[in-house]
Amino acid sequence: MPSALILIANGTEEMEFVIPYDTLVRAGISCTSALVNDIPDTIPTPSPVAKCSRGVKIIADKDMADVEDPNSFDALIIPGGAKGAETLSQDKKVQGLIRTYLEKDKVV
């Protein structure tokens, strides 16, 4: 079964996270969401929660630090939202992950 890693951070636009997640699941793609913290080197929490751009709180499946092999997914989904996009774009692990996916011609 194809799989996708969907990133989320505080400030992510709710619709840009939820709609792709829902659409992919309906298409039979296994989705895992991962919270990218906006505070570097934070300790992962048992229930990683992102407060989205309109105040909606979404519980991610995992903290990004707990994703064992982020390169094992077939696609990487990066939702927008000003603050969330800023956090994702500045995260070194996310930057490396994007480069790896593009080098392997995976969907980003």
Give the per-residue SS3 of 13-36: CHHHHHHHHHHHHHCCCEEEEEEC
The answer to whether the beta carbons of residues 99 and 66 sit under 8 Å apart is: no
Nearest CA to 52 out of 12, 1, 24, 17 is that of 12
Query: Residue 18: pLDDT band by 50, 70, 90 thresholds?
Result: very high
User: Tell me, what's the pLDDT at 40?
Assistant: 61
Mean pLDDT of 15-34: 98
Q: Is the pLDDT of residue 80 over 60?
A: yes
Residue 33's region, left for phi above 0, alpha for psi from -120 to 50, else beta, is beta
**Mean model confidence pLDDT for the chain:** 92
Q: Is the pLDDT of residue 42 over 90?
A: no
Q: Is the pLDDT of residue 108 over 90?
A: yes
Element (H, E) at 93: helix 92-103
